[in-house]
Structure 1
Amino acid sequence: MNDAGEPEESHESGGTNESGEAEGRRSAALLIEEALGFLFPAALRAAAEVGVADHLSDGPRTPADLAKATGTDADNLHRVLRLLATRGLFEEDDQGRFRLTRAGDALRSDAPVPVRSAILMITDRTMWLPAGEMTRCLKEGTSAFDRIFGMPFFDHFTQDAQTAAIFHEGMASMSDAENQPIAEACPFPEKATVVVDVGGGHGGLLLAALRTHPGLHGILYDRPHVLAGHRLDTPETKGRWSVQEGDFFTAAPPGDVYLLKRILHDWDDTQCMTILSNCRRAMRPGGRVLAIDAVLPQDNAPHQGKTLDLMMMASLVGRERTEADFARLFAEAGLRLTGVVPTGTVLSVVEGVA
């Protein structure tokens, strides 16, 4: 107070205001940078689509050389690669040549674990366009896919063979890096067991399971057009597998263990209960379900499942789930959750028994 009893001007208050303004500017800069982030996957898709990484196996090349090899514009290709280099996927030298780094090596079609098909699937218009309409999900409480494409996600695939191929090839590519550690982590019984890979696509996980556990016999269960691309026919698995056509919303083959890898996250709770109930009815005494999905932590930590959850929200009707969510789903389908096994990947094995 001054002599007149009035509050004096506080220099500390002014400092606080200045500090607040600085924090506001930092927040604004951060949010703008985050909003621009969508351009990185766009650039990654462009590089994957033209196959630029396949032309860098023998060392660095100039954008002009790469443009001739890929049938692209040299200046614009340079601009795309320059952005990708900021995240360490490529590296530009002092002569203006680009090389592929170890971090970006999986972009090559012939890489030990190639992910080009997975990138093309994740950034396909069936995922990209609904993500841009996410506000619709908030206001209408439903997927944005139907309004854009005129029908649900999987119905669209039945009418667009090219998009279906992108999806199934992309899922197989996305799975290749994770199938082996998941197969090793799965709690399979020691005795000879029939494992049913429900909606197993091209059979990458089942193949890894059969290789890892010689006592297993496998059934790959999926739609006919998907089974046509299966990869189970190898010398080391001869006589230990079969394929069976069907719809997991209708029934499941008899078996001892049911694998559901990245299946439940595609569907809402009611549909998931139908799938799980069909497995429960078909399983032999002592059988179990192994649902392999992201299990979301209930904290603020980053987790790929939290990102994928928004893809499920925008393009499909499913969701990623917490352990409590899985326990509830299992209980309503006549199963009891008995454990969650980490796999060293973003996915966990959620085990349920009758």
Structure 2
Amino acid sequence: MVSNRPRIPPQRLVHAVESVRTVLAVAFRKLVPGHIALMELIAAGWITQAIHAAAALGIADELAAGPRSSAELAAAVGADEDALRRLLRLLISHGIFTQRRDGRYALTPMARALRRDADVSLRDAVLFFGSPGHRNHWSHLVDAVRTGKPVGEELDGMPFFDYVQSDRELGELFDRAMTSISTLAMEPLFAAYDFGRYETIVDVGGGEGSLLAEILRRAPRSRGILFDLPEVVESAPARLAELGLADRCSVESGSFFDTVPKGGDAYILKHILHDWAEPEAGHILRAVRAAMTPDTRLLIIELVIPEHPGPHPSKYIDLEMLVNAGGRERTETEYREFLARHGFTLTSLVPTVAPDNVLEARPS
């Protein structure tokens, strides 16, 4: 039986290639005049908007059935043919789509990730991050840097997470975007960490349960407890039943600022702590700490900012947190100190080939 799971390359190879890429990028910036290197970085914002346009037009979906000419593709997506060719010319130069010798356009591996039905689709993430509202928040980055506070409350009249709940069209897009981004790291996460060692796993702030369901599918001896706000987990029982996990996974609701379910051998916080500054993140940690026993483990799945000065996804997301949610990414040292202040000892940091890491901690 052929597996549909993507092959995960060895971590050493991935990190070695990443190091070489960083060295070459630094060398290039030193070789060319500074204003030329800076202009290339400025143009990256235009590439983001070009990808957003391709996702909004549904170009990848139209090419899923096979290569199309510019006229066929323009008619299918409702675009001006000349303008569409110009858009694709830029995207092709970055490996997103390709043009065959006969002139027809086709998908590339990156372009396939823009399909609605891709195994790992980033279409919703592209639509969210390229949306006018998100762009507007980032246009006020200077205000966030001056004040150290997110800009959403002043622009939208309420904190970011309240706003995406009040505007359900935007909120649903945000939820789908976060789910798709979470899916990116799923296979690397399971390749690096064995969740099957825990009998009962509590996913705190686990959304609709996609991560916990996959953990239980791969760890048949484990049981799960999914915990999130009532409106978030409302559809989770039906979804878990469809996956045949209803007898191994219970669903509880509440706020992780108050209390979380007891009885877990491991508590997962995946992409939760980075959403909050320390006062709020500390409340979450203390609520989890109160539910744990000395033998229980806390598993924090987050990006960790490396100590080196080179580029890293965590440094981009750190500013995203500053602008929108008011949270932050942290270095390993910062996590170690942050956890210690709230009753935990960091025992290990397990990297993956994705930007995510598993920080394992125990009650102090």
TM-score range, shorter chain: 0.7 to 0.9
Whole-Å separation in 2 of the counterparts to 1:232 and 1:327: 35
TM-score (norm 2): 0.85
The Cα of 1:126 is off from its aligned counterpart by: 4.1
Q: State the partner residue of 1:14.
A: none
Structure 2 residue identity aligned to 1:223: L
* Mapped pair 1:239 → 2:242: no
Instruction: Assess if the C-alpha contact under 8 Å between 1:126 and 1:145 holds in 2.
Output: no
Task: Work out whether residues 221 and 245 of structure 1, in 8 Å CA contact, stay in contact via their aligned partners in 2.
Answer: yes
* Aligned sequence identity (%): 38
Query: What is the letter of the counterpart of residue 130 of structure 2?
Result: T
Aligned residue number for residue 172 of structure 1? 179
Q: How does 1:193-342 map to 2 (within 5 A)?
A: 193-230=199-236, 231-254=239-262, 255-342=264-351
Aligned to 1:11: none
Residue pair 2:196, 2:222 contacting (<8 A) in 1 also: no
Partners of 1:340 and 1:318 lie apart in 2 by 21
- CA shift digits 1:205-245 (9 cap, x unpaired): 11121112112111111122222343433445341101111
Letter of the 2:247 partner, please give it: G
Moved more, 309-318 or 281-290: 281-290
Q: Distance in 1 between matches of 2:131 and 2:301?
A: 24
Q: CA RMSD in A?
A: 1.9
CA contact (8 A) 2:196 2:221 kept: no
Q: Could you say what secondary structure the match of 2:189 adopts?
A: helix
Q: Displacement of 1:42 after TM fit?
A: 0.6
Matched, 1:147 2:154: yes
Residue 189 of structure 1 deviates from its aligned partner by: 6.5
1:100 is aligned to 107
2:356 corresponds to 1:347: yes
Query: What is the identity, as a one-letter code, of the residue corresponding to 1:213?
Result: A
Q: Distance in 1 between matches of 2:132 and 2:228?
A: 25
- Contact 1:126–1:315 (8 Å) recurs in 2: no
Deviation at 1:93, TM superposition (A): 3.3
Aligned-partner SS, 2:327 = coil
In structure 2, distance between residues paired with 1:245 and 1:194: 17
Over 6 Å off, 4+ runs: none
From 109, 121, 124, the counterpart of 2:116:
109
* Separation in 1, partners of 2:292, 2:243: 28
Q: What is the one-letter code of the residue matched to 1:210?
A: L
Pair 1:177–1:138, CA change in 2 (3 A): closer
- CA distance in 2: counterparts of 1:124 and 1:226, whole angstroms: 23
* Cα distance in 2 for residues equivalent to 1:48 and 1:60: 17
Question: What TM-score do you get using the length of structure 1 for normalisation?
Answer: 0.88
Structure with greater contact order relative to length (CA < 8 Å, sep ≥ 6) = 2
What is the count of residue pairs matched by the alignment? Answer: 331
Mapped to 1, the partners of 2:234 and 2:55 lie a distance apart of 26
Q: Give the superposition deviation at 1:25.
A: 7.6
CA contact (8 A) 1:184 1:212 kept: no
Decide which moves more: 70-79 or 255-264. Answer: 70-79
161-170 vs 75-84, which moves further: 75-84
Structure number with greater Rg is 1
1:53–1:107 CA contact under 8 A, matched in 2: yes
Deviations 1:160-205 (A, max 9, x none): 11111011111111112322332453354735x2211111112121
Separation in 2, partners of 1:204, 1:70: 32
Give CA deviations for 1:7-61 in whole Å, capped at 9, x if unaligned: xxxxxxxxxxxxxxxx898211221222122011111111111211011123221
Cα separation, partners in 2 of 1:220 and 1:126, compared to 1, 3 Å: farther
Q: 1:24 to 1:287 in 2, by over 3 A?
A: closer
For each residue in 1:60-119, what CA deviation from the matched residue of structure 2 results, as whole angstroms up to 9, or x when unmatched?
A: 212221122122222222222111111101112344421111232111122222221222
SS at match of 1:289: strand
